[in-house]
Amino acid sequence: MINTFFNSGSLDSPAAFLASFLIGIAFGVALECAGFGSSRRLAGIFYFRDMAVLKVMFTAVIVAMLGVSYAKSFGWVTLDNVYFLHTLYAAQIVGGLIFGVGFVMGGWCPGTAAVGVASGKIDALVFLAGAVGGSILYNEFYPVVAPLTANDRGVVFGFESLGVSEAGFAFFFTLIAVGCFWGAEFIERKRAGATNGYWNSRFLKVFSSVLVIGAFGLFAAQTRPGAAHAEGAVSEESLLADIQGGADHFGAQELADRLMGGDASIMLVDIRTPEEYSGFHVRTAINIQVSDLPERLALRKNQGVIVLYSNGMTHPAQARDSLTRLGFRNVFQLTDGLQGFLDTCLRPVSLHDGPVSPALAAKIRAWREFFLSTPVASPAKTSILTSAEPLPAEVETGWLAQKLGREDLKLIDLRSQPEYNGGHILGAQSLNIESLRGNVNGLPSMLLPARLLAEHFSLLGLRPDDSIVVIWGDKIQDATLFGLACERLGHQRYAILRGGYSKWLSEKRPQDTRLPIVTATRYPVPEKSDDFTVGAKDVLAAIGKPGTVILDVRPADFFTGKKRDEARGGHVPGAFNRSFSDDVTKGEQFSTLKPVPELAEAYSRLIPMKGSPVIVHCRTGHQASQTYFVLTRLLGYTRVRWYDAGWTEWAARSELPVVSEVQPPTK
C-alpha cells in the first residue's frame, strides 16, 4: 500500500501543499494544451460543434481508471490510503443539473476558468468572481439546502450499485468511451465539415485498441490470487474464483506479523461462543456472534481488513461468503482457523516435527511473547521493579499487594483526606487532585503548567524513574487526570489501580493509618511543552478535516444541548459523542473500566484507524482525561489530543461555532 499524504493524515502539511501545486501545474498545462482556455471551445460540445471536451475528459477518465484499477489489484490503492468522495444521490443529481445550466451559460467550469484567466480571457475572470459569490451564497443558504445533503451513502462504487464485477464494469465503461470517441469524430466530420479530424485514422484505431486491451487485462489482474487482499468481489463467479484461488484466506504468519507490528487496519474477529472466547482468544481479537456480524461490522465495511476465525474453517467461510454477498470486499478467513494459528505461530520450536530455520524460530519466540502474554491479567513476573520492566496501564490489587514496600514504587491516594486518614494502603501519600488544577490565562480548571506540577511532584518526593500507582476513590477520572499530570512532565511510568481503593477494601486487604516518611526531591521541569494538549484554535482547525475525530465525552443530554450549564448548549460541529461513563462498569462494591475488547470494539466504530487524529474534550478536561487514558494506554491509539479548556471555553466564546439539537430561546 502506498503511504499517500491522505493516508498519513498530512494533506495539510507544506509538503502536500507543494505536491498539490505541482500536480496543479500539470493539470493546468493539460487543460491549456487541450484548448480549454477557450470558452467557445468548451461550450462547443453543447452545440455539437467541437467535441474536444468529450474526447479529453473521457480519455482522461479511462486512463486514470485503468491506472487506479491496476494499482488496486496490486494492493497499492485501498480504501484506506485514498480519499474517495461519498455518494449522496440528491445532492449530486440536483447539483449536477444546476451545474450544467451554469456551465453552458458561463462557458466555463472552475478549473478551465483558471486556465482561461491565464489565457487573458476577461469572461473567465468574471466567471470566477461569480463562482466565489456562488460559494458564499451556498454558505448563506446552507440551512435551506442542507436536507439535500443529508442522506450520505458513504463510498459507493458503480459496479456495486449495479451488482456486477469491477473488471466487467470497467471494460464496459471503456467500450462506451471508445464508442463516444468514434461518435464525436463522426459528428464533427458531418456537422462542422472538419477535415483534420481523426475519423477512421490510424491513430484512433491504435488508441482505441490499446484502451480496450488495457481494460480487458483487468479481468486477469483482478482475479489474480492474492489480489483480493485489497479488493473483493460481489458476483457469484468471482466469489467462487476467490474460493478456488484461496483469495478468501488470510495466512496465519502474515496476520501474526501485522498484529504484532500494531497494524491498526486489521480487525480480527473471533466468531466462537463468548465462553470459548473468554477461555482463550488471539490477542486483539474481538468477539462477535455470526448473526451479529453484518451489523457490528457495518462501520468497518470496506475499511481496512477484517479477518474471521473460529476453531475450524466452516463457519468463517460461510460467514465470509455471506458478508461478501452483502458488499463487504475486505473480509477474509484465517487459514486453518484458530488451531492452524496455534500450530503455525505459537507452537514452541521444540515441539515442531521438522527442522525450524533460525529466522522462523526467532519469529515464533516473538509471536509467543506477544500473543501469550496479556497485559493486565498476568503482571510482570520478575520481582524487582526496574525501569526495564514494563508497567501495565492498569494494575490489579493482587499485583500491588505483592510489590508493596519497594523503594521505587510510589503510591498516590486521591481520595478525600478523611477517607485517607481512616485507612490507606501502606506507604500511600494523600493528594487532592484539585491541587493540580487552577486558573491559567483566565481559563478555569486547567491542568497546571509543567513548572508548577514539577513543584508538586518534588514535594511528594517523586523521581523520574519511579513507578507510580494511582489509587482513586469513586472517580476513575481523578486517577487519569493525575496520569495526564505525569505525562505533561514526561513521566510515563504510572499505572492506575484497577477497581480503585474500593476493590482493595472489598478484598479485605490490609490498611494502614501511618503517614509515610517522604523526603522532597527536585523533579525536573521538561524543556518542551507537552504535545497532547490543544486549544480552541486547534479544535476549530480540526472541524471538517477528513479523518480527524472530535470526541465529546460529556453525557448525551449536554452534547445535544438539552441540558446546559453554560451560556450556550450543544457541541462542536461534526463532533461525536461517547460519554466517559459508557467506558465504566459499575459493580456493587467497586467500578472498573470495561474489558479492553469491549472498549476496542466500541471505539473502532467511532475512530477509523489507530493512527487517526482524535481530539477528546468534556467541560473541564476531567472526564476527557479518562477517555484519553482509555484510548492511548489501553487501546493503543497514537494521535489522541486533549482539549483541556473544553466546553467551558467553547461555550463562552461566541465566535466559535456550535451545533445544538435544541432551538435556542428566542430573544
Partner 1 sequence: MKPKSYSNPYLAGILLGLTLLASYLILGAGLGASAGIARAGAFCELAIAPARTLASQYFGGWGTHPLHYYLVFMLVGVFCGGLVSALLSDRCVVMVERGAGCSPFKRLLFSLVGGLVVGFASRLANGCTSGQALSGSAVLLTGSLLFLVSVFLGGYATAWFVRRQWND
Query: Which of the residues 513 through 542 are near partner 1 (CB under 8 A)?
Result: 537, 540-541
24 binds partner 1 (CB under 8 A): yes
Residues within window 120-149 making contact with partner 1, judged by CB under 8 A: 120-124, 126-143, 145-146, 148-149
Instruction: Provide the pairing of β-strand 549-552 with 533-534.
Output: unpaired
> Which of these ranges, 96-104, 236-244, 399-407, 497-505, lies near partner 1 under the rule CB under 8 A?
96-104
Among 165, 168, 181, 642, binds partner 1 (CB under 8 A): 181
Choice between 103 and 482, CB closer to partner 1? 103
Give DSSP secondary structure letters for 339-383: HHHIIIIIS-GGG-SS---HHHHHHHHHHHHHHS--TTTS---SS
Cell of 242: 476467490
Cell of 285: 481479537
Among 107, 379, 561, 608, binds partner 1 (CB under 8 A): 107
Among 74, 83, 171, 199, binds partner 1 (CB under 8 A): 83
Beta carbons of 379 and 395 less than 8 angstroms apart: yes
Question: Minimum Å distance from CB 616 to partner 1?
Answer: 19
Question: How many Å apart are CA 488 and CA 587, to the nearest integer?
Answer: 32
Question: How many Å apart are CA 184 and CA 167, to the nearest integer?
Answer: 25
Question: Minimum Å distance from CB 461 to partner 1?
Answer: 45
Choice between 106 and 337, CB closer to partner 1? 106
Exposure string of 304-334, with b = 16+ CB inside 10 Å and e = fewer, is bbbbbbbeebebbbebbbebbeebbbbbbbb
361 binds partner 1 (CB under 8 A): no
11 binds partner 1 (CB under 8 A): yes
Among 74, 75, 92, 219, binds partner 1 (CB under 8 A): 92
Question: Minimum Å distance from CB 175 to partner 1?
Answer: 14
Number of residues interacting with partner 1: please give it, by CB under 8 A: 148
Residues 6+ apart with CB under 8 A from 115: 28, 31, 32, 36, 37, 124
Choice between 138 and 280, CB closer to partner 1? 138
Choice between 64 and 515, CB closer to partner 1? 64
Question: How many Å apart are CA 320 and CA 290, to the nearest integer?
Answer: 10
At 198, which amino acid appears? Y
Question: How many Å apart are CA 385 and CA 407, to the nearest integer?
Answer: 9
Question: Minimum Å distance from CB 74 to partner 1?
Answer: 11
Choice between 190 and 522, CB closer to partner 1? 190
Question: Minimum Å distance from CB 22 to partner 1?
Answer: 6
84 binds partner 1 (CB under 8 A): yes
Among the residues of 489-572, which ranges form H helices? Answer: 500-506, 536-542, 556-560
Expressed in angstroms, the distance from the first to the final Cα of the chain is: 55
Choice between 55 and 272, CB closer to partner 1? 55
> Which of these ranges, 163-171, 382-390, 583-591, 640-648, lies near partner 1 under the rule CB under 8 A?
163-171
Question: Minimum Å distance from CB 218 to partner 1?
Answer: 11
Among 74, 171, 173, 219, binds partner 1 (CB under 8 A): 173
> Which of these ranges, 30-38, 216-224, 257-265, 441-449, lies near partner 1 under the rule CB under 8 A?
30-38
Choice between 516 and 574, CB closer to partner 1? 574
Residues within window 190-219 making contact with partner 1, judged by CB under 8 A: 198, 203-204, 207
Residues in the chain: 667
Choice between 355 and 546, CB closer to partner 1? 546
> Which of these ranges, 94-102, 246-254, 330-338, 556-564, lies near partner 1 under the rule CB under 8 A?
94-102
Cross-strand bridge partners of residue 286 = 269
68 binds partner 1 (CB under 8 A): yes
Among 110, 225, 226, 422, binds partner 1 (CB under 8 A): 110
Centre a 10 Å sphere on the Cβ of residue 451 and count the other Cβ atoms it contains.
Answer: 10
**Residue 446 CB-half CA count within 13 A:** 17
Letters for 384-403 (x = contact with partner 1 by CB under 8 A, - = none) are --------------------
Residues within window 555-614 making contact with partner 1, judged by CB under 8 A: 573-574
Question: How many Å apart are CA 590 and CA 294, to the nearest integer?
Answer: 35
Q: What is the dihedral of CA 332, 337, 338, 340, to 10 degrees?
A: -120
Question: How many Å apart are CA 237 and CA 402, to the nearest integer?
Answer: 61
Choice between 67 and 246, CB closer to partner 1? 67
232 binds partner 1 (CB under 8 A): no
280 binds partner 1 (CB under 8 A): no
Cross-strand bridge partners of residue 534 = 643
Question: How many Å apart are CA 245 and CA 224, to the nearest integer?
Answer: 8
Question: How many Å apart are CA 360 and CA 365, to the nearest integer?
Answer: 9
Among 22, 298, 372, 384, binds partner 1 (CB under 8 A): 22
Give DSSP secondary structure letters for 211-243: HHHHHHHHHHHHHSTTGGGT----SHHHHHHHH
Question: How many Å apart are CA 550 and CA 642, to the nearest integer?
Answer: 10
> Which of these ranges, 92-100, 224-232, 393-401, 495-503, lies near partner 1 under the rule CB under 8 A?
92-100
Nearest CA among 49, 632, 197, 67 for reference residue 393: 632
Choice between 176 and 298, CB closer to partner 1? 176
Residues within window 41-60 making contact with partner 1, judged by CB under 8 A: 41, 43, 45-47, 52, 55-60
Residues 6+ apart with CB under 8 A from 597: 285, 286, 287
> Which of these ranges, 63-71, 257-265, 344-352, 604-612, lies near partner 1 under the rule CB under 8 A?
63-71
Cross-strand bridge partners of residue 334 = 250
157 binds partner 1 (CB under 8 A): yes
Choice between 169 and 590, CB closer to partner 1? 169
Among 73, 74, 75, 95, binds partner 1 (CB under 8 A): 95
Question: Minimum Å distance from CB 221 to partner 1?
Answer: 15
Question: Minimum Å distance from CB 262 to partner 1?
Answer: 21
Choice between 43 and 614, CB closer to partner 1? 43
Among 74, 81, 360, 577, binds partner 1 (CB under 8 A): 81
494 binds partner 1 (CB under 8 A): no
The SS3 assignment for 272 reads coil
The residue whose grid cell reads 459507493 is: 156
The residue whose grid cell reads 480571457 is: 121
Instruction: Provide the pairing of β-strand 443-447 with 467-471.
Output: unpaired
Choice between 72 and 475, CB closer to partner 1? 72
Question: Minimum Å distance from CB 588 to partner 1?
Answer: 45
Question: How many Å apart are CA 419 and CA 434, to the nearest integer?
Answer: 16
34 binds partner 1 (CB under 8 A): yes
The SS3 assignment for 332 reads strand
The residue whose grid cell reads 516473538 is: 366
Choice between 197 and 526, CB closer to partner 1? 197
298 binds partner 1 (CB under 8 A): no
Question: How many Å apart are CA 223 and CA 386, to the nearest integer?
Answer: 53
Among 220, 362, 659, 662, binds partner 1 (CB under 8 A): 659
